[in-house]
Structures are given as C-alpha cells and as structure tokens.
Amino acid sequence: MTEANTVFLVGAGPGDPDLLTMKAHRLLQEAEVVVYDRLVSAEILALIPTGATLISVGKQPRNHPIPQPEINQLLVRLAKAGRNVVRLKGGDPYVFGRGSEEAMTLVENGVPFEVVPGITSASACSAAVGMPLTHRGLATGVRYLTGHCQEDSELDFDWQGLTDPSTTLVIYMGMANVAQITAKLIENGADPALPAAAINNGSTPEQRHIVSTLKDLAGDAKAAAFEGPVLFVVGQVVALHAILGLAPDVEQNNEQPNTAVGG
C-alpha cells in the first residue's frame, strides 16, 4: 500500500498575493491538487500552475455545499492516493479556518500534515486602513471573535468579558449578526460611543471601509452595501485611523468618534 503523502494546510492570507509567504508560494508551484476555500482570491489562484487540479470547497454563510467532514475525508483520500496536496485557506489555517479539524482527521487516518501559517485578516485588514490592534494607553490586548457559531447556532459568548475597554475586539464573519453582537456588547456595559469600523475586502483593490461607533456600526455597515468578506474592529485604536489611515478613499460616519490618543 502506498504511504500517504503529506498534506500542506496553507494560509493564503487576506487576498493580496504579495502577502503570501515564500513557503506558501513554493508549495503552490509544486502542488498536484489544490483544495481551496471561497475566500482565496483569484489573484492567488492565478499563481497555481495550469497542470494542477483545483477543487473548490468554498462555503457561504448558512450555505455549506460540501460539509466539513466530507472535505476532511477528501484530503485523506487524495493523500493516500499519492497526490501532492495543498489545502489552501484564506487567512491563517488555525484562525477560524477549521484547519485543526482537518488536521485531526489526518492524524486519525495516519496522514502526515504540515501547517503553513498565513497572515490573518485581523492583522492585514486593520493595517491596511491604519488601525493598529494594540497601542500604549489605548489597548493592551486583542480578542478575536467569530461572528457565527457552529451550524449557525445561537451566539453564546462571555458578553461581559468582551467589553473590556482596554482590549480591541476583532469580529470575523460577523456581517449577518453584527446588530445582535453590538446590542449585546452595549447591553453588557460597552460604551455605545466606542469607535468601531467595518473593513470590506481588506488588502485587495476592492477594499472599502467605514468608521463608525459601536451603536451605529450595524446600520452603517448595512448602508454601505458591502460585497465580499467584512471584518469588524471595535475599540479605542480605531480612532487612530484619523492619523494613521493610508487609504485616500475613506468612507466614514459623519459622527467621527472623538477619542484622545495615548502615548
């Protein structure tokens, strides 16, 4: 029986091909099969040699045409068939990428694997619009939060713990539930005037963003009619956008938060 090949769980980053790691680029050039997610950009897919087989297993919110267990088993079958497999994921495989679920299935089936980290959207998108995630005097920590739970079950978080004013909150995949999330944060003590932002298609030519407040974030994001992935950033560091913002096409709420900048 042929020994299973190593499966490479590769982070594609936020979409800009220049933000791929050198190792990720090399593995894509060597791959026979690339199993990729919906959020992998067309520019990155274009880097894959024409001889490779591309298999799309992308998911939409509340629409998973290929369930995760089937994706897990697909990787096992391909590796045991002796194929050189890259599992390509937007962002980082281990940050809301289900990479650990796939890795566990590979381990259970005796398939070797290697994780190649990618730049996660929190770092890439916030940097692209001039919002550091930490800053002395404003934010001493960061929390990453998923905007939806497994099988779209009800959001059940430590809401009070998420309202620490010295912590930046970054919400992934939260467009469908942002109104519920912001309401729960305010209900549990967060300042309604806390600076907040929504970043759409961060790091790509289609990048757009709004700067708002916690109480207005859901409405402003809906009015922006974003298409594609949206990342939310909540915290005092958002106010630094006014000083550090690099993008000339800033879209923002008329009520720009007035927050003092610490040293």
Across the range 158-162, mean pLDDT stands at 94
Across the range 136-163, mean pLDDT stands at 85
The pLDDT, as a whole number, for residue 58 is: 79
The token pair at 175 is 């467009």
Catalytic residues: 37, 59, 173
- Domains identified in the chain and CATH numbers: 7-116 (3.40.1010.10), 121-252 (3.30.950.10)
The pLDDT, as a whole number, for residue 151 is: 53
- Alpha-carbon distance 73 to 166, whole Å? 42
pLDDT digits (tens, 9 = 90+) for 199-250: 999 999 999 999 999 999 999 999 999 998 999 999 999 999 999 985 444 4
The pLDDT, as a whole number, for residue 248 is: 47
The pLDDT, as a whole number, for residue 246 is: 58
Backbone Cα Rg of the chain: 20
DSSP 168-230: EEEEES-GGGHHHHHHHHHHTT--TT-EEEEEESTTSTT-EEEEEETTTHHHHHHHTT--S-E
Whole-prediction pTM: 0.86
The token pair at 68 is 């995760």
**Residue 261 predicted with pLDDT over 60:** no
The pLDDT, as a whole number, for residue 148 is: 73
- Alpha-carbon distance 210 to 203, whole Å? 15
The pLDDT, as a whole number, for residue 149 is: 60
Confidence of residue 262 (pLDDT cuts 50, 70, 90): very low
Beta pairing partners, 7? 85, 113
Average pLDDT, the chain: 89
More confident residue, 257 or 38: 38
Q: What letter would DSSP give residue 24? A: H
The rounded percent of the chain whose pLDDT value lies above 70 is 88
